[in-house]
Structure formats: C-alpha cells, structure tokens
Amino acid sequence: MATPEPIAAIGSENWKEFLQEFSSRNYNRRARFDVFRSNGRVEEEGQESHLEDIVLRENGNQRNIEVIRIDRSEKNADKIRDVITNVRGVQVQYDTDGSEDAIEITDDQNTLIMLRFESKVDGAS
C-alpha cells in the first residue's frame, strides 16, 4: 500500500504571497481540475491546460481565487479563467520527489477543488 503524499495547509494570512510564488514555480505546467462536492459527487476535467497564474482576489470579507490557464495545443487559444469563490482553505500536496503535485482549495460549501499537475516523477496527472 502506497504512503499518502504529504499535504501542507497554508495559513490564510499567507495565501497571496504563497499563490504568487506557487504560480511562478509551476508556470506552464500542465494541470487539470478535480472537484469533490460535499454531496459525494466528483467531477474530473478531461483536458489539461498549462498554468499561467493563480491570483487571490479580495473584496471585503470575500476571498476568491482565480486560476488562469491556457490550452497550448491550439494556436491562438484563449486563456481559461476559473474563479473559486468564498475560499475557506488552501493546501498544497507534494509528490514523492518533493515537487508540488496539487493545490487544494476549499470553498464555503465544503467543496474541494483540486488543481492536479502533471507529475515531475512519472509524467501522470
């Protein structure tokens, strides 16, 4: 049985800086979303896109995270912008080599939105 990979919670006071640094480290890595809803439903994105940026947007007490990606397999592809609203938690998951494997974002509906990256170890995502 495989040992689960380490997961580290990021304190909300550090989200902005962490997301900037995370985006820089993982720029252009292929990634896809998996969404785990509180009712048990799971949604898996079929197509990977390359990470451009992850940005924290604050408006009063509301904290939203915008994930910007692009499908580099198409010429002149538009950027894909996904906004996760009312964020309540951010965690990072590490692969066996210590590289960042996924970022997990939880919203106020207890939905877990995971942006999983192509593994630097085995190439799978």
Say which CATH topology domain 11-117 has: Protein Yojf; Chain: A; (2.70.180)
Mean per-residue pLDDT, 91-99: 90
Question: What pLDDT was estimated at residue 122?
Answer: 63
**pLDDT over 70 percentage in the chain:** 91
Task: Give the C-alpha separation, 25 to 22, whole Å.
Answer: 5
Per-residue CA distances from 46 to 8, 31, 61, 69, 122 (Å): 26, 10, 33, 14, 19
Question: What pLDDT was estimated at residue 35?
Answer: 95
Task: Give the C-alpha separation, 62 to 87, whole Å.
Answer: 8
Task: Give the C-alpha separation, 122 to 57, whole Å.
Answer: 33
The pTM for the full model equals: 0.87
| pLDDT, the chain, mean | 90
Phi, psi of 92 (to 5 degrees): -120, 140
Question: What pLDDT was estimated at residue 125?
Answer: 47
